[in-house]
């Protein structure tokens, strides 16, 4: 089976670096928020062009920490996308915010025309959380302009997009804060859960550090109601030594596979999700669109030829049962486009350990589909 992710092959390559990290951390006698975390944070900040990187427990917490650090109060409205991992909205709700949705555009990312209309129509919306979905970066120049024009706080959810850029700007260029996830399937994946925040602000970085560690501003001085979202030394060590040095080659491999798919997949019923021409995607996923009534048939065909596939995401966030209890959730536009993505999207396998012959098999599997 050609899998969406293949961690066993990855382990074969990374094992020596991971085991050396384990040895280093174990023998150091210091296991949480120490030297390894600081070194990883430095490497991550340097790689991403941010002034500060602050490690935390996961991508969900990173968004909550960002919003709370930016002063979100209970009941505060946060404009975001209905088409993302549930975590994007979950973090908003956990931070006390009320999610406000507008539709996505033809690329599947938040529609910035609708974002501006919503901000004009309701000046109470003071927070915006766009998502660089699929690894495709949003238009960062435009996001920055929107942030300035409406004076809102901006958190870029870059869980799927570490390393991506739009024009000359890397992700993180527009937001007050930018959040990352190192969940194993992400482009920079740990051997377990981990996350981080990026910012250019010294003051925000200090708040992130405090909130992730019980709201302590210094030892036994608690200035905020914080959380426990600390990063383990072991994860930081593995991320810095085994993963981060390989990230750019992994991204290049993902880009190579994406261009093979784009050049060789050719099927009347399989459409590529359009990408903004200025976007330098990191291809966390390779999404295609098929007619909704044929999606099961398409996925079954792939599976029959040994090709796993996925759906990102089959149900819009505001349609989830958990959202029934969320008071004040609002829609500032119809969500037709997002809904059509939810009904039509299929993700093909794309990861750095996919071999040439496997890429060819995926292409042949797609091209040989006879919809029925
Ligand atoms: C994975 C993901 C998250 C959450 O990250 P976790 O580390 O799983 O908590 C948030 N937003 C998006 C877009 C994601 O893909």
pLDDT reported for residue 325: 87
**Which stretches of 212-311 are DSSP H helices?**
233-238, 247-264, 295-304
Distance CA 326, CA 94 (A): 11
Instruction: Inform me whether the pLDDT recorded for 372 exceeds 90.
Output: no
| Nearest alpha carbon to residue 194 among 24, 28, 16, 37 | 37
Residues 266-309 pLDDT 10s: 999 999 999 999 999 999 999 999 999 999 999 999 999 999 99
Residues 160-206 pLDDT 10s: 999 999 999 999 999 999 999 999 999 999 999 999 999 999 999 99
Q: What is the pTM of this model?
A: 0.98
Residue 89 near ligand 1, beta carbon < 6 Å: no
Residue 4 near ligand 1, beta carbon < 6 Å: no
Residue 156 near ligand 1, beta carbon < 6 Å: no
Pairing of strands 125-129, 77-80: parallel
**Tokens for 170?**
């890397």
**How far, in Å, is the centroid of ligand 1 from the Cα of 28?**
31
Average pLDDT of the chain, as a whole number: 97
Residue 228 neighbours by CB distance under 10 Å: 11
Residue 81 near ligand 1, beta carbon < 6 Å: no
Among 181, 186, 191, 310, name the best residue to mutate to test ligand 1's pocket (greatest count of ligand atoms within 8 A of Cβ).
181
Pick the atom of ligand 1 nearest to 60's CA.
9
**How far, in Å, is the centroid of ligand 1 from the Cα of 88?**
7
| Nearest alpha carbon to residue 143 among 133, 135, 153 | 153
Residues 197-241 pLDDT 10s: 999 999 999 999 999 999 998 999 999 999 999 999 999 999 999
- Of the pLDDT bands very low, low, confident and very high (cuts 50, 70, 90), residue 122 is very high
Residue recorded with tokens 């992710």: 5
- % the chain with pLDDT above 70: 100
Pick the atom of ligand 1 nearest to 63's CA.
10
Residue 179 near ligand 1, beta carbon < 6 Å: no
Residue 57 near ligand 1, beta carbon < 6 Å: no
Residues 308-350 pLDDT 10s: 999 999 999 999 999 998 999 999 999 999 999 999 999 999 9
Is the separation of the CB atoms in 228 and 214 below 8 Å?
yes
**How far, in Å, is the centroid of ligand 1 from the Cα of 288?**
21
pLDDT reported for residue 43: 98
**How far, in Å, is the centroid of ligand 1 from the Cα of 190?**
13
Distance CA 7, CA 191 (A): 9
DSSP string, 287-353: EEE--GGGHHHHHHHHHHTTB--B-S-SS-GGGSGGGGG-TT-EESS--HHHHHHHHHEEEEP--TT
Residue 84 near ligand 1, beta carbon < 6 Å: yes
Residues 67-84 pLDDT 10s: 999 999 999 999 999 999
């Amino acid at each position: 089976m050609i899998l969406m992710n293949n961690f066993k092959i990855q382990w074969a390559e990374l094992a020596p670096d991971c085991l050396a990290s384990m040895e280093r951390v174990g023998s150091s006698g210091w296991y949480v928020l120490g030297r390894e975390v600081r070194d990883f944070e430095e490497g991550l900040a340097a790689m991403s062009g941010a002034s500060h990187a602050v490690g935390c427990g996961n991508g969900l917490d990173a968004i909550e920490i960002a919003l709370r650090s930016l002063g979100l109060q209970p009941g505060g409205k946060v404009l975001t996308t209905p088409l993302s991992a549930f975590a994007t909205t979950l973090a908003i709700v956990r931070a006390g915010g009320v999610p406000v949705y507008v539709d996505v555009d033809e690329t599947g990312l938040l529609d910035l025309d609708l974002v501006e209309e919503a901000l004009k129509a309701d000046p109470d919306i003071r927070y915006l959380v766009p998502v660089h979905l699929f690894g495709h970066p949003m238009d960062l120049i435009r996001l920055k302009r929107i942030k300035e024009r409406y004076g809102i706080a901006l958190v870029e959810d870059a869980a799927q997009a570490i390393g991506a850029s739009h024009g000359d700007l890397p992700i993180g260029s527009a937001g007050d804060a930018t959040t990352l996830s190192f969940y194993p399937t992400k482009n920079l994946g740990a051997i377990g859960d981990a996350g981080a925040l990026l910012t250019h602000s010294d003051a925000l970085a200090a708040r992130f550090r405090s909130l992730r560690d019980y709201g302590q501003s210094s030892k036994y001085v608690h200035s905020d109601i914080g959380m426990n979202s600390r990063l383990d030394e072991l994860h930081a060590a593995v991320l810095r030594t085994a993963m981060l040095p390989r990230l750019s080659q992994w991204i290049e491999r993902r880009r190579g596979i994406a261009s093979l798919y784009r050049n060789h997949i050719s099927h009347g019923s399989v459409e590529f999700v359009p990408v903004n021409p200025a976007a330098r995607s990191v291809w966390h996923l390779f999404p295609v669109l098929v007619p909704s009534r044929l999606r099961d048939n398409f996925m079954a065909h792939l599976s029959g030829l040994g090709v796993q596939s996925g759906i990102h995401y089959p149900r819009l966030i505001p349609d989830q049962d958990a959202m029934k209890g969320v008071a004040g959730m609002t829609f500032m536009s119809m969500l037709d486009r997002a809904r059509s993505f939810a009904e039509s999207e299929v993700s093909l396998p794309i990861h750095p350990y996919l071999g040439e012959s496997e890429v060819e098999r995926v292409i042949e599997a797609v091209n040989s589909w006879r919809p029925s």
